[in-house]
Amino acid sequence: MILDINGIQSILPHRYPFLLVDAVEEMERWKRIVGIKNVTINEHYFQGHFPGKPIMPGVLIIEALAQAGGLLLLQEVPDREKKLLYFVAIDNARFRRPVVPGDQLRLEVTVAAWRNTFCKLQGRATVAGELAAEATLMCKMVDREMPLTPVAANDPAAKAQ
């Protein structure tokens, strides 16, 4: 194991219940990472998705892939505690099999392109060698202190921008 949960938390800003990577098994700087998510019945989302037939939501599998990619990318950023990675697009997302409690999700992410603050990643999530989900993920690095500009509900000009 390359990173345990303490190492992961020193890099990613995510915390329970939204930290979706438990360990990192492999990493090639600037190229690829393999993370692990141990799926247990204690996950908060299984209370309602779906009672009696718990299935990990597909969007959380994609988020787990993104977090694994974030671990790889943020390793290379000297001032990473001042940065965040935001999703800008998800392409070609496909879900091939359900992920259920007891499964160990293997998160394989490779860097397709990385220029300045923009990155394109290819992600594959497998369970026991069987493809569960895949997607192309695009993200942008931003300053953590970047102010958010809320759109006023009654301001049509602000909405148009």
Looking at the predicted structure, is the pLDDT value of residue 56 above 90?
Answer: yes
Q: Identify the active-site residue in 14, 32, 49, 97.
A: 49
Query: Among 8-17, 85-94, 102-111, 142-151, which is the least confidently predicted range?
Result: 142-151
What pLDDT is stored for residue 1 in this prediction? 83
CATH value at residue 154: 3.10.129.10
Average pLDDT value for residue range 91-107: 98
Note the pLDDT of residue 77: 86
The mean pLDDT of 45-61, rounded to a whole number, is 95
Average pLDDT over residues 58-78: 95
Pick the more confident residue, 153 or 57: 57
Contact 109, 122 (CB under 8 A): yes
How confident is the model over 109-148, as pLDDT tens digits?
999 999 989 999 999 999 999 999 999 999 999 998 866 6
Mark whether 49 is an active-site residue. Answer: yes
* Residue 94's pLDDT band (cuts 50, 70, 90): very high
**Average pLDDT for 34-62:** 96
How many domains does the structure of the chain reveal?
Answer: 1
Mean pLDDT of 80-88: 91
Owning domain of residue 22: 5-160
Q: What is the pLDDT of residue 8?
A: 97
Interval 49-63 mean pLDDT: 96
* pLDDT of residue 159 exceeding 80: no
